[in-house]
Amino acid sequence: MANLRQRQITESAVCALCKTHEEDTLHAIWSCGEIACVWNSLTWFHHVVTSPPSDFTNLLSSFLQVHDEYYAEIFSITAWLLWNRRNAQHFGRPVHPLGQLCSMAGDLMQEYLDAQELAPTPPPPVMQQWRPPEPEHVKLNFDAAVFNALNKAGIGVIARDWNGAVIGAMSMPISLSQTVNEMEAMACRKAVQFAKDLGLQKVVIEGDSLVVINALSQGHGCLSSYGNVIDDILVLADDFQWCEFHHVKRICNVVADMLAKKAKDLLGVRVWLDDLPEDIQPLVFFYVH
């Protein structure tokens, strides 16, 4: 409801269940008093979430950081059931009583586990998440984001070592260019410069722009509007002991994308070295482990 109101689709953001608080994601799934009985019936949740979460990302990261996968799984299924129940109620469809939700989550979990045992060995998964580089190498992911309404764009870079540990991250606003490829090329150049600033020697530069990565692999900037940027990158890349350019799916480039989007509210370049922005942390954790 809070999102709908922000987009001016509704006037009120009040929760339809408790009719007192604003309904944001955290409220709908976790903090609404009307659904408290669901989470309260699972006493071990209080060991995982020791203080009130600030938002849903924060709540989710509490579960992802617990080593026992069971916690995260039951949490996810219960949250999914609550969200579906909330939508069914919203559209006037029949719903299960709240008191049954936890046992339903347990049943679904068991059904899933049974199916895993019966199923033949699955084929190796398609690479759907970020992979660390070879030992002694550092991988830098870059991305660009466009903010049309603000007439500007942003770029984001994250550097991680072969253990997945973050070495540095950056986010900066840039002026809007003619094409997305041009901005992707600029993000790539920034990633290479960032690697140099960090004093790295063996690097893999990874992005989800096939056009830019292809241009770099072919070793020339062609006649494109950003050909000079590609040439710059190739000159910079010559100084490293090792430098490769890889293309990945967007899903493997999520953290760089988030950092690029962060530039929306920035006036200048922002660099993080030992720390990371709080909202990015759970993503990094999620995509490494």
Interface residues with Zn ion (CB under 5 A)?
15, 17-18, 32
Q: 82 vs 166, which CB is nearer to Zn ion?
A: 82
- The nearest distance, CB 272 to Zn ion, in angstroms, is 35
- Residue ranges of alpha helices (H) inside 27-146 are 36-40, 45-48, 56-64, 69-90, 101-118
Residue located via tokens 């129940």: 85
- The nearest distance, CB 34 to Zn ion, in angstroms, is 5
- Residue ranges of alpha helices (H) inside 100-226 are 101-118, 180-197, 210-218
Chain centre to alpha carbon of residue 132: 16
The answer to whether the CB of 195 falls within 8 A of the CB of 177 is: no
- The nearest distance, CB 135 to Zn ion, in angstroms, is 50
Q: Measured between alpha carbons, how far is 182 from 187 in angstroms, rounded to an integer?
A: 9
Q: 3 vs 214, which CB is nearer to Zn ion?
A: 3
Q: 32 vs 183, which CB is nearer to Zn ion?
A: 32
- The nearest distance, CB 94 to Zn ion, in angstroms, is 20
Q: 36 vs 165, which CB is nearer to Zn ion?
A: 36
Q: 18 vs 180, which CB is nearer to Zn ion?
A: 18
- The nearest distance, CB 22 to Zn ion, in angstroms, is 9
Amino acid letter for position 72: A
Amino acid letter for position 276: L
Nearest to 168 by CA among 278, 272, 285: 272
Q: Measured between alpha carbons, how far is 77 from 54 in angstroms, rounded to an integer?
A: 21
